[in-house]
Structure 1
Amino acid sequence: MTAPQPARSAPQPVVLDGHYARLEPIGPQHAADLFAASVPERYRWLFSHAPQSIGELQARIAADAAGPNRYVAVIDKTTGRAEGQQAWMRIFPEHASIEIGGVYWGPAIARTRVASEALFLFARHAFDDLGYRRFEWKCNNRNAPSKAAALRFGFQFEGVFRQDLIIKGESRDTAWFSIIDGEWPALRAEYERWLSPDNFDADGLQRTRLDAGSRPT
């Protein structure tokens, strides 16, 4: 049996380009777009509150850049606007384990092929380019839409950490999900099939559904 290997490196500040989404290192140039895409109720389950101004968001972006997590802006290639953000978190190259977190997909891209491709680009980069073995998704256990999204994207539910965190004055039980490297080839093929431009009509509506959630464990 081959011994497990560490990942090649932590993610570097590179651009990841797809058919519909482009991920680029977040910076102050994205603040105006991201502020326009901010909807207060969509911050219900995030660590932060909705920004009150572009300046506040610029300060938040600068503070995040100095921390351990690595944020990217999610660009809708149709409009060229930053419509969301996501981050590499819990980055452990020595264990080949990494998390997608800090996800905010604004209303223009939520539940669209842009958001799905943004997730796919992270997963593909982690597994194929950097050699990670484990790709995590975590959320508040009360966040039913996030848990449903994780399953739809092909993550496997692993359990709940009870009273894991205190967020915005509330106790959080954290639901854990993951994709591991042995599951990735089948998931990658299904994502590539679904994301093919041939799978969408002239209005961008899917012809067939993403079947990642039914992949075998």
Structure 2
Amino acid sequence: MNDWMLESIMLEGQRVLLMPVTEEDVEDIVQVSLDPRIWTFMPISGTESEIRSSLQQSLSDREKKVAYPFIIIDKLTNRVIGSTRFLNAHSEHHTVEIGWTWFIPPYWGKGYNEECKLLLLNYCFDELKTIRVGFTAAEKNTWSRTAIENIGAKFEGILRNIVIRHDGRRNCAIYSITEEEWPETKTGLEKLAKEKFKMKQII
């Protein structure tokens, strides 16, 4: 079950490169991810020890075939700019989720998230043959929810008091893209990423 999680998956776009997180990457990721703005609505509060522990846990989860963490690299600078994961994969149901996605603030709103999601979704629908890809965001995280909606995911509803995080109890907004929706969604996402890359530059 989920044997693909033990494979070395590299996803490459115009501006971003997604590589499997390794032990050697952990400290590099920690050092670029200490800006507290990154962690406001994430499952952890973003202390150095928490980030390191979370990354180590993600490596363990990959060995257990329950998650697949990626490091996100800016191809133009070879700089580590974020991380993302596949999680909650169910091969018997052909479903998977994309989550734990974050970028360092200079890369927010400039097309990198859109291209990252395009690469991940292409892999899900073309290689894994999934029929549904899910996304979850804190109800109050309007930035993340807008980003999810912009890539074409459909809102499914709110799960109330579903988790307890560092900031207390949370409601979570649930989104998804289905196999039937993907061709049209893909076209829109490709266009959106290109438009953002043309309009905005990293300073």
Equivalences for 1:16-35 in 2 at 5 Å?
16-30=11-25, 31-35=27-31
Q: Does 1:15 align with 2:10?
A: yes
Contact 2:87 2:96 in 1 (8 A): yes
Contact residue 33 and residue 81 of structure 1 kept, 8 A: no
Match of 1:143 in 2: 141
Residue 187 of structure 2, aligned match among 181, 186, 189: 189
- Aligned residues of 1:74 and 1:85 also touching (Cα < 8 A): yes
CA shift at 1:168, angstroms?
Answer: 1.3
Contact 2:32–2:80, Cα closer than 8 Å, also in 1: no
- Give the secondary-structure state (helix, strand or coil) at the position aligned to 2:107: coil
Change (3 A) 1:190 1:41: closer
In structure 2, distance between residues paired with 1:169 and 1:58: 20
Partners of 1:36 and 1:8 lie apart in 2 by: 30
Shift of 1:150: 1.1
Which residue does 2:199 correspond to in 1?
A: 206
The structural deviation recorded for 1:57 is 4.6
Q: Taking every aligned residue pair, what percent have the same amino acid on both sides?
A: 22
1:36-78: CA deviation from partner (whole Å, max 9, x where unpaired) = 243112201111222427xx75554222210232110011111
Provide TM-score, normalisation by structure 2: 0.86
Query: Which of 59, 63, 67 is the matching residue for 1:69?
Result: 67
Distance change >3 Å, CA 146–CA 195, structure 1 → 2: closer
Higher gyration radius (CA): 1
State TM-score, norm by structure 1. Answer: 0.80
CA contact (8 A) 2:115 2:190 kept: no
| Cα distance in structure 2, aligned partners of 1:19 and 1:44 | 29
- In 2 relative to 1, CA 48–110 (structure 1 residues): closer, same or farther, beyond 3 Å? same
Q: What amino acid does structure 2 have at the position aligned with 1:38?
A: L
Structure 1 residue 32: Cα displacement: 2.0
Deviates more, 1:163-172 or 1:77-86: 163-172
**Contact in 1 for aligned 2:111/2:192 (Cα 8 Å):** no
Report the Cα distance in structure 1 between the residues aligned to 2:163 and 2:46, rounded to whole angstroms.
20
CA contact (8 A) 2:10 2:18 kept: yes
Aligned residue pairs, count: 194
Q: Which runs of 5+ in 2 are unaligned?
A: none
Closer, same or farther: CA 144–109 of 1 in aligned 2, 3 Å: same
Give 2:127's aligned amino acid.
Answer: D
Q: Distance in 1 between matches of 2:3 and 2:177?
A: 19
